[in-house]
C-alpha cells in the first residue's frame, strides 16, 4: 500500500455502521494508523499482529485517515538561527515585498529589486523612504516560518500602526490558494511547477486588497494603496522598471491625451449596452480637467463579423502613435477577451510602442487574474520589454456589467474630472472609488467581490498622465491668413481678412481660469511709414487642438510684406508647464489688385519691331484666367492700327504681336 512512500492519506466510507477497519498485507510492523480529522487532536491507532487497524471514531461520517511508517518519519529541516529585522512603521513610505529569486542579475542590472527600490528613493522616483523585504523574511518574522498569506497581512497590519502614508508593491508572481501545487512544498523550489509562488496571493479569489483591508469589520477598502508586478524572473523586474522610468520621465507630449476604447459583448443587446458604457466614459475623458481625445472606439462590429467569438483585432496604429489609456468593456478571462488584441510579443502584430506605454482598465470577468500557472493578458502586456503597458487594472473574479460600469464611471470621474483627485496615483484613486462604492453596494456579495478583487498590476505610486498646469502652445506653421467671405483672396485692397491661430493645450484644463488672452502685433512695411499695431483678444481656453479666427481690417497703406506676431497669455498671467511655446509669427505680402505690365512698361514707346508683351498678376497665387492685352501707336489706344488679343494664363500672360508693315511706325 505504501510502496516507497513514507505515508498515505485517505478518507473512510461514510456509510459504515461500525468502526472503519483495514487489514493490510505485507505491511511493515512499524506502520501506524492516525485519525487526523482534527489536527489539534490526532488519534493514533496501533495495528494487531495481523496488521489490522481499527479506527473507532470512523463510523457514520467521513474522517481523514493516515497510514505512516514510524521507522521512516519525515524529518523537519534542521533548526537555523533567524534574526528578525527591526521594522519601524513610521520610517517607510514605500514597501516592497519580493523574493530572492528576483534579486539575481539581469543584463547589466546586478539586482533589479534593489534597483527598483533605489529608483523610488531617488528624486526622479519620488524620494520615497523605501523598504525591501522578502516573502521568506515575512514568513519567519510574522508567521513562525510557515508559508502563509497571513505573513504579508500581519506585516501590513504592523506597518499600519503608523499613520504615515505608504504604498505597497508586491513584486513577484503569486499563486492563488486554489491553484494546485501537487503537494510540493514551497521550500523545495520544484522545477516541475508551472510558476513559482514568489509573493503569494491572499485567497482563492486572489485579492491583493485583502492584505490591508479591515474585512473583519466589513470594510473592504485597501488601507495601503497596493500594486503587484507579477514578475517570474529578475529580467521581467528589470523590464518593468525600465518602462516605469521611461513613463515617469515623459513631458507634456500631445499624444498623452489620447485614449482608446474597446466594447465587446456576446449578442446585439450587449453590443449596444457595452458601447453605451464606453461612450459615457468618453464624455468624461473629454471634459476638464483632462480634456482628452478618444481616438477610436473598437466594437464587435468593427471587423464586420457578429458571429465569431472571440474576434481578434489589431490596435498597432493607435498604440504605436501613443495612448495614455486603453479601456475595455466586454466578456473576459485571464487569457482572452471577446475583442482579442493578439500577443504583444508576436512581431507579426507590429506592436512597437517604446516609451509610449498606456494603462489598461479592463471591465470583464477574471481579466485581472494573474495568479495561475498561465500567463495572463495583463502579465504579458506589463512585463513585455520595451513595449506593451505600464499598468493593468481589472477584476480577478466574476464581474457583472452594472457593477463594473458603476466602478469604471467613478474611476473616470476621479481620474479626469475631479480637481481634488486629478493627478493622484491610480492605486489611490482605486481606493477612493472602492470607498464610495462600498456604501452603494452594501452587503451585496458581488459588489464586495468587485471591490476586493480588482487588481492593480503596476506600481502603486504610478500616475496616469495628469499635468498640474495648462500648456498653451502655438507655432509658426499654425498661423494662417485667409480671406473673409465673400472675398476669395487677400490683397492690400481687402477691407478685412482673417488671421487664424492654431492653439493646443497638452496640460490641465483646471487652471482656475476659463479664458486666455491673445495679443496680435502687426508690423507694416517700411514704405508704409506707420507704427506697429497691437490688438488684444480674450478667448475661451483651448481644450486640445483649437483654431481661433480673428477678423482684422486693412486701413491706409498696407501694400507689401506685413508681419503678424501672436503671443498667447501675454505677460504670463497663467502659470504653465512651459512659457517658451507661446509665440508664433507669420509674414504675408499684401499685393495690390490688378495686373502690372512688366515688359515693356505700361505706356512706354519701343522701336524694336520684335516686341514681346509680358504682364503679371499681382496675386502670386492667381488661378488660370483670361487677360486682355492691347497695342497701339497712340496712348489713347484708338487708332486704326490698334491690336487687341485675349491670352489665357495664371500669373504671367505673354503676347508676341505682329506689327503693321510700316518701317517708320513706332509703338
Angle ∠(141,222,167) on CA atoms, nearest 5: 65
- Whether 170 contacts 370, CB under 8 Å: no
* Orientation angle between helical segments 401-412 and 445-453, nearest 10 degrees: 50
What pLDDT does residue 336 have? Answer: 93
CA distance 65 to 123: 59
DSSP state of 122: S
Q: H helices of 160-314, where?
A: 234-248, 268-285
- List, in order, residues 6 or more apart from 433 with CB less than 8 Å away: 407, 410, 411, 414
349-373 burial: b if 16+ Cβ within 10 Å, else e = bebebeebbbbbbbbbbbbbbbbbe
Q: Which residue in 228, 210, 240 sits closest to 174, CA to CA? A: 228
What pLDDT does residue 665 have? Answer: 43
As a whole number of Å, the CA-based R_g of the chain is: 39
Q: Which residue in 52, 56, 28, 30 sits closest to 43, CA to CA? A: 56
- Whether 376 contacts 350, CB under 8 Å: no
Residue 289 CA: distances (Å) to CA of 254, 284, 285, 508, 514 = 15, 9, 9, 6, 12
Q: What share of the chain is helix, strand, coil (3-state, %, to 5)?
A: 20, 25, 50
Residue 588 CA: distances (Å) to CA of 6, 480, 492, 531 = 95, 9, 11, 17
- Whether 359 contacts 392, CB under 8 Å: yes
Provide the 10 A C-beta neighbour count for residue 76. 6
- What structural domains and CATH numbers belong to the chain? 7-69 (no CATH), 94-217 (no CATH), 252-457 (3.40.50.1460), 472-590 (2.60.40.10), 595-655 (no CATH)
What pLDDT does residue 335 have? Answer: 94
CA distance 498 to 488: 12
Residue 500 CA: distances (Å) to CA of 80, 483, 612 = 78, 10, 42
CA distance 208 to 202: 6
Q: State the cell numbers at 29.
A: 510492523
CA distance 290 to 335: 32
Sheet holding 7-11, edge to edge: 7-11, 64-69, 31-35, 43-45
Residue 534 CA: distances (Å) to CA of 522, 566, 618 = 6, 10, 28
- Whether 170 contacts 212, CB under 8 Å: no
| Dihedral sign for Cα atoms in the order 438, 444, 447, 449 | positive
Sequence length of the chain is 667
Angle ∠(150,153,155) on CA atoms, nearest 5: 110
Q: H helices of 5-134, where?
A: 112-121
- List, in order, residues 6 or more apart from 300 with CB less than 8 Å away: 263, 264, 265, 271, 306, 311, 330, 338, 339
Q: List, for the chain, all residue ranges whose pLDDT scores fall below the cut of 70.
A: 1-4, 178-195, 302-308, 603, 620-621, 661-667
Residue 589 CA: distances (Å) to CA of 481, 522, 524 = 10, 13, 10
What pLDDT does residue 180 have? Answer: 55
Residue 147 CA: distances (Å) to CA of 136, 151, 199, 200, 449 = 8, 7, 10, 9, 25
CA distance 344 to 364: 20
Amino acid at each position: 500500500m505504501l510502496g516507497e512512500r513514507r505515508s498515505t492519506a485517505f478518507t473512510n466510507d461514510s456509510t459504515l455502521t461500525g468502526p472503519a477497519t483495514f487489514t493490510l498485507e505485507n505491511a511493515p510492523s512499524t506502520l501506524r494508523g492516525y485519525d487526523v480529522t482534527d489536527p489539534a487532536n490526532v488519534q493514533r491507532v496501533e495495528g494487531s499482529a495481523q496488521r489490522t487497524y481499527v479506527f473507532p471514531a470512523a463510523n457514520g461520517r467521513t474522517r481523514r485517515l493516515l497510514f505512516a511508517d514510524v521507522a521512516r518519519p519525515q524529518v523537519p529541516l534542521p533548526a537555523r538561527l533567524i534574526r528578525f529585522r527591526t521594522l519601524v512603521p513610521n520610517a517607510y513610505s514605500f514597501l516592497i515585498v519580493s523574493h530572492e529569486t528576483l534579486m539575481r542579475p539581469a543584463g547589466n542590472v546586478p539586482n533589479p529589486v534593489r534597483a527598483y527600490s533605489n529608483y523610488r528613493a531617488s528624486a526622479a522616483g519620488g524620494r520615497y523612504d523605501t523598504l525591501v523585504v522578502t516573502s521568506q523574511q515575512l514568513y519567519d518574522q510574522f508567521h513562525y516560518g510557515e508559508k502563509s498569506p497571513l505573513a504579508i497581512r500581519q506585516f501590513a497590519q504592523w506597518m499600519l500602526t503608523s499613520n504615515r502614508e505608504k504604498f505597497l508593491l508586491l513584486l513577484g508572481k503569486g499563486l492563488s490558494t486554489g491553484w494546485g501545487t501537487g503537494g510540493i512544498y514551497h521550500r523545495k523550489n520544484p522545477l516541475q511547477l508551472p510558476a513559482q509562488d514568489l509573493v503569494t496571493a491572499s485567497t482563492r479569489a486572489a485579492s491583493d486588497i485583502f492584505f490591508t483591508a479591515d474585512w473583519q469589520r466589513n470594510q473592504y477598502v485597501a488601507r495601503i494603496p497596493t500594486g503587484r508586478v507579477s514578475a517570474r524572473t529578475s529580467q521581467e523586474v528589470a523590464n518593468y522598471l525600465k518602462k516605469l522610468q521611461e513613463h515617469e520621465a515623459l513631458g507634456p507630449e500631445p499624444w498623452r491625451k489620447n485614449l482608446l476604447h474597446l466594447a465587446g459583448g456576446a449578442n446585439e443587446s450587449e453590443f449596444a449596452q457595452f458601447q453605451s458604457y464606453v461612450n459615457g466614459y468618453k464624455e468624461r475623458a473629454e471634459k476638464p480637467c483632462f480634456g482628452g481625445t478618444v481616438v477610436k472606439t473598437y466594437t464587435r462590429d468593427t471587423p464586420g463579423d457578429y458571429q465569431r467569438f472571440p474576434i481578434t483585432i489589431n490596435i498597432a496604429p493607435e498604440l504605436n502613435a501613443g495612448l495614455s489609456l486603453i479601456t475595455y468593456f466586454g466578456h473576459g478571462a485571464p487569457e482572452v477577451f471577446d475583442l482579442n488584441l493578439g500577443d504583444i510579443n508576436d512581431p507579426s502584430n507590429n506592436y512597437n510602442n517604446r516609451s509610449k506605454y498606456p494603462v489598461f482598465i479592463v471591465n470583464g470577468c477574471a481579466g485581472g487574474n494573474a495568479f495561475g500557472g498561465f500567463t495572463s493578458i495583463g502579465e504579458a502586456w506589463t512585463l513585455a520589454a520595451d513595449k506593451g503597458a505600464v499598468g493593468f487594472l481589472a477584476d480577478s473574479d466574476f464581474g457583472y456589467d452594472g457593477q463594473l460600469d458603476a466602478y469604471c464611471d467613478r474611476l473616470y470621474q476621479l481620474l479626469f474630472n475631479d480637481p481634488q483627485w486629478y493627478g493622484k496615483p491610480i492605486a489611490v484613486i482605486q481606493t477612493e472609488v472602492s470607498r464610495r462604492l462600498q456604501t452603494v453596494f452594501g452587503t451585496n456579495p458581488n459588489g464586495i467581490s468587485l471591490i476586493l478583487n480588482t487588481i492593480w498590476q503596476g506600481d502603486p505610486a504610478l500616475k496616469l498622465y495628469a499635468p498640474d498646469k495648462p500648456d498653451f502652445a502655438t507655432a509658426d506653421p499654425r498661423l494662417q491668413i485667409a480671406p473673409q467671405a465673400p472675398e476669395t483672396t487677400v490683397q492690400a485692397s481687402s477691407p478685412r481678412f482673417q488671421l487664424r491661430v492654431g492653439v493646443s493645450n497638452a496640460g490641465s484644463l483646471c487652471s482656475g481660469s476659463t479664458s486666455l488672452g491673445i495679443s496680435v502685433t502687426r508690423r507694416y512695411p517700411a514704405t508704409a511709414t506707420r507704427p506697429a499695431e497691437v490688438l488684444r483678444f480674450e478667448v475661451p481656453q483651448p481644450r486640445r487642438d483649437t483654431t481661433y479666427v480673428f477678423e482684422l481690417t486693412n486701413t491706409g497703406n498696407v501694400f507689401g510684406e506685413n508681419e503678424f506676431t501672436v503671443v498667447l497669455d501675454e505677460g504670463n498671467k497663467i502659470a504653465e508647464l512651459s512659457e517658451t511655446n507661446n509665440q508664433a509669427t507669420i509674414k504675408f505680402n499684401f499685393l495690390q489688385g490688378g495686373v502690372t505690365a512688366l515688359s515693356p512698361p505700361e505706356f512706354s514707346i519701343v522701336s524694336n519691331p520684335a516686341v514681346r508683351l509680358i504682364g503679371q498678376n499681382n496675386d502670386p497665387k492667381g488661378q488660370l484666367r483670361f487677360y486682355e492685352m492691347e497695342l497701339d501707336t497712340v496712348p489713347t489706344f484708338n487708332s486704326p492700327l490698334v491690336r487687341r488679343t485675349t491670352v489665357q494664363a495664371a500669373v504671367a500672360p505673354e503676347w508676341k504681336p505682329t506689327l503693321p508693315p510700316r518701317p517708320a511706325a513706332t509703338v
